Structure 1
Amino acid sequence: MAFVNFADAAPAALPIAHSAIFAMRRPEAVEPYVAPPQVAPLDALERRVIELARGDGMETLNPRRKRSWLARLILGPQAPSPVLANERLEALRRLAVQAWHHGYTLPASALHEARKAGWDERQIGAVIDMIGRLQPPVRRLAA
């Protein structure tokens, strides 16, 4: 987008060229507008967390209980937890799990939790759009 300086043409077009409006000092050089560099909303690690969340079920969002000694004796050791150690990435994983299962109809609590963890609206939208693009199209049977 370019800036057009009409101040030079205005005194010649008006009948009163020496008014107080044009007596003000004009800047000698107008700096062109430079757009800020576009930053990708999600980096490679965050995109990988979203892809890994595809295989997680909704039960991974519930808090885990420790097995009793009898359950460990019968069922064996407990499986490793899917919860991530980084709180910000864990909030992203929780948002991605819900987006994989609910699509664009996410609960408001999921969006609030992601905002509380430090994700802004642009990044949340990028997560939901990425998941929407990666999901296969829905095939409907003819009725």
Structure 2
Amino acid sequence: MAYVNFADTAPALLFHAKPAARHGEQAGFSGLEWSVVALARRDSLNSLRAPGRIAKAMAAVFGSKSQNAIADPRLEALRRMAVYGWHRGFAVPEGEMERFFEAGFSPRQLELLLTNIGRDRAARGRRA
């Protein structure tokens, strides 16, 4: 049987502690932003691609529903990062991280987002 020392991480796991914010840096998310993260769980990686001409034509003919991007660029950057987090964990393309930071989010928020998504993914895996 293996031994794992959780002494350093146990308080954060038990109390869902947020990383401490640096001066002028936001450490958490608003309720609306957490809602975007929760809704992104159902989005596929295909929702991150812009539909091509053929996909648009097929949608017009057959009336299929495409997943639309969020109109607010800041929330869309958060949604995109959350979709990658739900599907790939911490393996996020560098360009998406740049988009996330350009939208006004901080590295601490990225860490908080991906850590919480990873924790939820692990919990769901244990229940399955």
* Bin of the TM-score, shorter chain as denominator length: 0.5 to 0.7
Structure ranking higher in helix proportion:
2
CA distance in 1, matches of 2:85, 2:94: 12
- Percent of pairs with identical residues: 32
Answer 1 or 2: higher relative contact order, Cα 8 Å, separation at least 6: 2
| Structure 1 residue 82: Cα displacement | 2.8
Which of 65, 76, 88 is the aligned partner of 2:52?
A: 65
| Structure 1 residue 71: Cα displacement | 6.2
| Structure 1 residue 105: Cα displacement | 2.1
Report the TM-score when normalising by structure 1.
Answer: 0.60
Which of 66, 87, 102 is the aligned partner of 1:101?
A: 87
Say whether residues 1:77 and 2:63 are aligned partners: yes
Say whether residues 1:54 and 2:70 are aligned partners: no
SS at match of 1:110: helix
Contact 2:82 2:113 in 1 (8 A): yes
| Structure 1 residue 59: Cα displacement | 0.3
CA distance in 2, matches of 1:100, 1:81: 16
| Structure 1 residue 47: Cα displacement | 0.6
Which has the greater radius of gyration?
Answer: 1
Unaligned runs of 5+ in 2: 1-22
* Alignment CA distance shift 1:97-1:71 (3 Å): closer
